[in-house]
Structure 1
Amino acid sequence: MPGRPPLRQLWIPLALGLVAALGLPPFGLWIATPLALAILIHRAARRDGVFLPMLAAGFGWFALSMSWIVEPFLVEPEIHGWMAPFALVLMALGGALFWAVPAALAARLTVPGPRRAIAIAAALLLSDWLRGWIFTGLPWALIGHAWIDTPLAQTAAWTGALGLGAITLTLAALPALIRPLPAVVLAVALTGGLWSVGLARLSQPLPPDSPARLRIVQPNAQQDLKWDPQWAAVFFQRLLDLSAEPGPRDVVIWPETAVNFLLEDADPVLPAMAQAAGAPLVLGIQRRDGSRFYNSLVTLNPDATIGAVYDKFHLVPFGEYVPWGDALARIGIGAFAAQQGNGYSAGPGPVVMQVPGLPDFQPLICYEAIFPQHLRGLDQRPAWLLQATNDAWFGKFSGPYQHLAQARLRAIESGLPLIRAANTGISAVIDPHGRIRQSLPLGVAGKIDAALPAPLPQTPWMRWGNAPVVLLAALMLGLAITRRRPDRNLLA
């Protein structure tokens, strides 16, 4: 077919996708992302047959950035290990379609040249936004995530993570729009200007910390041992011992599904848990309500009574629930990660929780923290965010570091401190600038005693959300496709 590149030529965009992914954690080579995407967009803007090259590039991006997807299947390799390579290939191929389809449509609606570059960049940005919503959403490995370890990430307080992607794609499109030297000068100036804005924001003093003292407990319960009855007793005792260590605390926080029993079966051990905590205890635990099971965050009062309860509402498809689960349960098909029933039921939605003696907070259980939209629309603004998570599912290479990076972005976007309690790590205290004050690394049992950072005033992103970035990308796409006459380099 005319315009379709030979398959042997797809190794170049595949390599560019792999290089671009080096900007994401744990590598953090942020400059690799705009440089690799610049070459990719420059090539795509000057030729037909965009679909396959962009599919190859997207495959490289998602294969490396989402390589942790194999880890859940290796928890019990004798049962699920054979599925790991299929999961990686299908995940990378599915993600690649979010690059190839919009880029091909943008190319089909434009002629080769600068406007095609603009259209492809805008289409990729809109695709990143759409990926946070469609099929329940998976805004993981967004293009803008490459900036999290740089001062430029502070611009997310105005633009959100999607705006960081807009900056990246703007830099990447420049070489296709103007001559090389002006493109480099303009890219350096834009990056340097936004970097300076970030440094200025980071230099501003934060409000004094809240007087509340937190204790975050990380039991390091390995996923392959966590539900074994003998080891579960060991991990439970570890939670109690770490909680009871001397030191002031106004709340003790345990991670997601911290214990191997249901809330309804916990009465015999609730007094021991309350005594060890010596303060209100917030813990992840599964609970049952009739025939339904929930992945929950529960407050245990010092008198061993149950306080506020939050049920996770944004569940992991096929991990925590299966679409049409009630029907499929009849033939024995259930969710991969759920330990009770055939899958969890969803809670009602985002809430603000109250714990006596503490500022109010918004709970986020694991996966929920990757969705920035869940921070907006609450009736009242919380003073902090709490993420209880079990990153043991993600292995030790890239997944936990990427998950932590996204939690840091939530702090920047919202202007709220984020407290992270992780089962095997990385537990952390994150200030409203997204900086990690204290942390416990992967694979370590321990605790963090820390003051609760105070919030900043509401950020512009919390007021506007992604609407300005989405509208700007749609406008640029519309302007690019309305003119079909061939055009030259804009500064040629």
Structure 2
Amino acid sequence: MELRMERLAGRIMLLGGWGRAVLALLAGAFGALAMPPVSFFAALFFSFTLLVWLMDGVGSNPERMGSRGLRSAFLIGWLFGLGYFVAGLWWVGAALLLEADEFAWALPLAVLGLPAVLAIFYGVATAFARLFWSDGLGRIAALAAAFGLAEWLRSFVATGFPWNAIGYGAMPVPVMMQSVRVFGLFGMSALSVFVFAVPALFATRRGLRPGIALALLLLAGHFGYGAYQLHLSEATGDGQEVTVRLVQPAIDQSVKLQNSDRVAVFEKHLRLTALPPEAGGRQPDIIVWPETTIPFILTENPDALQRIAAVLKEGQVLVTGTVRSEEQAAGEAPLYYNSIYVIDHSGQILSATDKVHLTPFGEYVPWENLLKRFGIENLVALPGGFTAGARRNLLTLPNGLKLYPLICYEVIFPQVEDEALSQSDLIVNVTNDAWFGNTPGPYQHFLQARMKAVESGRFLIRDANNGISATIDPQGRVVSGLGLNAEGAKDISLRLRKPIENGLPSPNYNFWMVTALLLSGAVISRLGFVSKGN
């Protein structure tokens, strides 16, 4: 087998021009199969093995460490990323087709332009790894560290978009999710690339034994720690019991955009809220509606607040996504916020918070004055778009529970050492994935929401207009919920418990330690490679 792989690697290393470009694209595209709904994580072994061999073809001779070698390495990584992101994010274009007469022209920008920009991070990763490239295990360590850093950069540069980070590919099921509490998403991305790329050593043989040993050790630790955490979680929670009703109206996004039947949309939410509990079930304590679900400014419609009060029973509260307006000086347009309200049975707004991390081109246009000259506008038709909230406020309920609010894709951003999160009892995530229909988008979003529950060690309540509403336990397991395209209300009882402390340093610290160790290994290998005169 090693001889066959050596021959295959040799052929790939000798590729040039279009052959190399097409293979890099295909390798990245195949890796996207590791993401939901397919979740075939083994695809990344194939992808990163090919990427290592393609990088070997750039040449590892120190005399070729100039700009030409770096440009070639960048191009390989960029093409790999382009294939990966086009195959994994093509569904973003579905949102533009809802108003095709106005936005269809921008479809290539969504399907190809966004992936082309995101692929720059992977191009930078391979160029950076090229600086430490050698002929053994060190190059695997260099590539792993570079991708971990690239995913970290992707989380905040230009407001950030860490969607489908490589680390998610190594965490498709709960037993494989627990390690994110130790290393965080970026540490898991670095370690995952190391393991996924190790098979490339079968062709070059140098560093094969220690590489396989380290990969097996990491996999054993990954699964072992996961099994241990799932075992610990079997203990019954000793905290407060709460029953949550998830309302998923499954309203077609085109209907929401037309905004012509607002009363019917509102009444549908009220009807699902007023349904009696299932036989023998508890009356819900908390009822959750999706993101921006109320089709008017609630504070300007006191009758609507009274209608909500009429369907809520004493002691119940409604947690709902809504649009909040804020008046400005005379002659100035009001500001609009994507918000969450907590409303009690008397129709009083008890607590509120605004979305802090807005979605580019969906809720605001970056570089608005420039891009509007080219006809690029928000998908959400609001004067000036949404305004970002100044800070994220915990939502405090009458029973003392504190909810940590995340609106839509805010849930995909790792909250590293967030003080508000540490003070919360539950996470609530309201969203609307109806924009993307029956595509991989809602499934990918749901996986990343599950990871937030594991990362924080808290139950997560997720409610969507359409796709996918569920309550997720602190180990990422789905307690119960409503699937994509399902319409209805689901009551779920939870016994809360304090997060299980693992006694380890923070994931942020561990990520940088992993990166430092990988880079140290790459540097040592590189220095030894140079000293041999290669």
Deviations 1:358-396 (A, max 9, x none): 521101000111111267232851011000111112332
Alignment of 1:22-421 (within 5 A): 22-45=33-56, 47-48=58-59, 49-150=72-173, 151-176=175-200, 178=206, 183-184=211-212, 186-204=214-232, 205-208=234-237, 210-247=240-277, 248-278=283-313, 279-290=316-327, 291-325=334-368, 336-357=378-399, 359-373=401-415, 376-378=418-420, 381-421=423-463
Q: Secondary structure at the match of 1:452?
A: strand
CA drift at 1:476: 2.7
CA drift at 1:197: 1.9
- Identify the range of structure 1 (226-235 vs 314-323) with the bigger mean alpha-carbon deviation: 226-235
Q: Tell whether the 8 Å contact from 2:433 to 2:464 is kept in structure 1 after alignment.
A: yes
Q: How many residues are treated as equivalent by the alignment? A: 486
Deviations 1:120-165 (A, max 9, x none): 2211110011111111111111001013323121111211222321
Query: Counterpart amino acid of 2:77?
Result: M
Unmatched 5+ residue regions in structure 2? 1-13, 60-71, 278-282, 328-333
Larger Rg: 2
Report the Cα distance in structure 1 between the residues aligned to 2:82 and 2:484, rounded to whole angstroms.
28
Report the Cα distance in structure 2 between the residues aligned to 1:440 and 1:260, rounded to whole angstroms.
22
> What is the TM-score with the length of structure 2 in the denominator?
0.84
Query: Counterpart amino acid of 1:298?
Result: Y
The alpha-carbon distance between structure 1 residues 50 and 344, as it changes in their structure 2 partners (threshold 3 A), is same
Q: Tell whether the 8 Å contact from 2:416 to 2:508 is kept in structure 1 after alignment.
A: no
Query: Counterpart amino acid of 2:170?
Result: W
Q: Secondary structure at the match of 1:161?
A: helix
Query: Counterpart amino acid of 1:219?
Result: P
Report the Cα distance in structure 2 between the residues aligned to 1:321 and 1:207, rounded to whole angstroms.
44
- Identify the range of structure 1 (31-40 vs 18-27) with the bigger mean alpha-carbon deviation: 31-40
Report the Cα distance in structure 2 between the residues aligned to 1:462 and 1:371, rounded to whole angstroms.
22
- Identify the range of structure 1 (412-421 vs 73-82) with the bigger mean alpha-carbon deviation: 73-82
Q: Tell whether the 8 Å contact from 1:21 to 1:64 is kept in structure 2 after alignment.
A: yes
Unmatched 5+ residue regions in structure 1? none
CA drift at 1:310: 0.5
Report the Cα distance in structure 2 between the residues aligned to 1:184 and 1:56, rounded to whole angstroms.
28
Deviations 1:281-320 (A, max 9, x none): 1111101101211000011121112211111111012221
Report the Cα distance in structure 2 between the residues aligned to 1:406 and 1:447, rounded to whole angstroms.
23
Counterpart of 2:510 in structure 1 is: 468
What value does the CA root-mean-square deviation take over the aligned residues? 2.7
Report the Cα distance in structure 2 between the residues aligned to 1:72 and 1:462, rounded to whole angstroms.
42
CA drift at 1:448: 1.2
Report the Cα distance in structure 2 between the residues aligned to 1:479 and 1:147, rounded to whole angstroms.
23
Report the Cα distance in structure 1 between the residues aligned to 2:48 and 2:213, rounded to whole angstroms.
17
Deviations 1:239-281 (A, max 9, x none): 0111001121112110100121012322121111122232211
Query: Counterpart amino acid of 1:246?
Result: P
Deviations 1:2-55 (A, max 9, x none): x99312322212111111111111111011113321331243145333222222
Percentage of identical aligned residues: 32
The alpha-carbon distance between structure 1 residues 380 and 118, as it changes in their structure 2 partners (threshold 3 A), is closer
Q: What is the aligned counterpart of 1:12 among 5, 8, 23? A: 23
